[in-house]
A = this chain, B = another copy of it.
């Protein structure tokens, strides 16, 4: 996979069209869910002919992956912007900040409640005997990207020597956070407060083994 996009929009108009398609995709996800999402409707609402849609996206999953990608960028951007303003006395404050920002996006960003930046659907998997073990960083999962960025931020704020297991630990933390917050928003459209609190606790306890 060279890119998540089939063709990278070069001109201004194309960039706007891709952006519009992603916007409408997000809105539709909120309205009808992933299963009922149709490429035709996305194209229609974005006022883009279906043929053009397929110039930019490989397929329906490609569209959703691109949206997840955009959500990922937005999330990281928000984090990076908020860090200098916040008063981070301890690494646990960074955990809280990240989770709060995630929750806020769940509430305010269209489609984010259905597709955030985690994996959307597990791939086919191919014939049952597949290449034994593929390294995590090869897959370029979005959650891997988040984990890496968070690791960099943590190191920056915490110029202490950290063990080599931190990579894995952060990935595990991100994955777990994602899952528990999804649960919190399934239980309550506004995000069940006690589950959000438990999520923070879960991550803090776990990471305490890997950070001072």
Contacts and interface: CB of A to CB of B under 8 A. Distances in A.
A212 to B, nearest CB: 16
B125 A113 contact: yes
A45 to B, nearest CB: 16
A206 B195 contact: no
Contact of A34 (B119, B122, B195): B122
Interface string A24-53: 000000111111100000000000000000
Given A202-B202, A206-B202, A206-B206, A30 B128 contact: yes
Count copies of this chain in the complex: 2
Contacts of A182: 122, 175
Contacts of A157: none
A136 B185 CA distance: 11
Contacts of A81: none
A188 B189 CA distance: 34
